[in-house]
Amino acid sequence: MKSSFISSLLLLVLEFQPVNSFAYIDQPDGILPKSSPFKPTANAPASSTPDPTVLAELATFACTLADTARLQILPHWRSPRHSLAQEIKHESDRSEFQSASPVTLADRAAEWAMRELIEKQYPHHGIYGEEYGVIRSDADWVWVLDPIDGTRSFITGKPLFGTLVSCLYKGTPVIGIIDQCVLEERWVGIAGQPTKMNGTPIRTDGVANLKEAEMFSTSPDMFRNQDLLKFTSMKRAVRTPHYGADCYAYALVASGYCDVVVEADLGLYDYCALVPVLEGAGGVICDWEGRKLTLENHERSKGRVVACANAGLLEEALEILRLDPLEEHGQLALEKMKDNNVLLIPDQSTVTPWLFGVMVGEVIAHLGL
């Protein structure tokens, strides 16, 4: 009875309060939560292998697309903000961070230029772009474009954005480019080949366990409700959480400078290019259930992405990210959250502490939890 009441109470609070309406009090020692052993889930059906000659041709073309995007973006770099023709895209059913995102003249010009090249060179290929939508998504070959991943960084003069170019074969990313035009850095991943950064092969260099790991996320505001609880557990499990690098964080994992990236609520264009880059450098990347990041799995994955420098880190991360912090199953949700070294209490500076005439904190205290 007590278990069911408290679990229901927590679910109501999560449903009706804003994302930032709780304070999270970390418990000491950074002990990892208890969970069942890691078991890989079934992935999407394997696609047939693309012809290596065609793959090489398309990888060269992908670099041409990235070159074209550079030509459109650089003239606007660190321009006066009023000259960027900024607009805000409003999207419903997204996180606080993603529901209102900026777009600039540079974003649109870069994607339009890339789309024109694709239509001219490969008119039978599909295109899935952030700014101008989707055509022929059922084609065997589909280009996925994010002209500026990290537009907030671009607008504010921070060179931690990137152009993402990916090519999918039967729904699976087989070519990926992360291009940082200001720093003149380019990571190129091709399925079955070593990833290269500016022409030089690179490898991940991850630590052995999460408690030693450096973790990136673009913003804590991209996590909602149960995802926020899981992210809080991840943040507590690692050595240091970092914020604000967008796609550049994944490039840093591929190059061996950090260990983990955890994000949620991403679009297909936000992560497809990252897959060949990470995998070709020895890293691993999937959704929070261990599924491959493919066109087919996008709706199930819901933009929840975890990338790690090695399989051991991924196993630990998935043990946390697969937990349901509010599942009942006869076990009090708060007890599981305590096992995760996170204690949830209302923050009276940001949340109305009354629910149905009862102070939530007093109920928890009265029940000895």
- Determine if residue 146 is labeled as part of a ligand binding site: yes
Q: Which of 262, 269, 264, 265 is nearest to 285 (CA)?
A: 262
Residue 119, annotated ligand binder? no
Question: Is 270 labelled as part of a ligand binding site?
Answer: yes
Residue 67 marked ligand-binding: no
Check the annotation: does 148 bind a ligand: yes
Q: DSSP of 171-232, one letter per residue?
A: TEEEEEEEEETTTTEEEEEETTS--EETTEE------SSGGG-EEEES-GGG--HHHHHHHH
**Cβ(326)–Cβ(302) under 8 Å?**
no
CA-nearest of 52, 336, 89, 259 to 174 is 52
Give residue 155's region: left, alpha or beta (phi > 0; psi -120 to 50): alpha
At 301, which helix (H) or strand (E)?
A: helix 298-301
Sheet holding 141-149, edge to edge: 133-135, 126-129, 141-149, 162-169, 172-180, 185-190, 196-197, 200-201
Compute the distance between CA of residue 33 and CA of residue 320 in angstroms, rounded to an integer.
7
Instruction: Find the angle CA(217)-CA(280)-CA(198) to the nearest 5 degrees.
Output: 85
Sign of the CA dihedral 258, 264, 270, 271? positive
Distance CA 300, CA 170 (A): 18
- Number of helical H runs and strand E runs in the chain: 12, 19
Query: Can you say which residues are annotated as belonging to the binding site?
Result: 130, 146, 148-149, 270
Query: Can you say which residues are annotated as belonging to the binding site for Mg(2+)?
Result: 130, 146, 148-149, 270
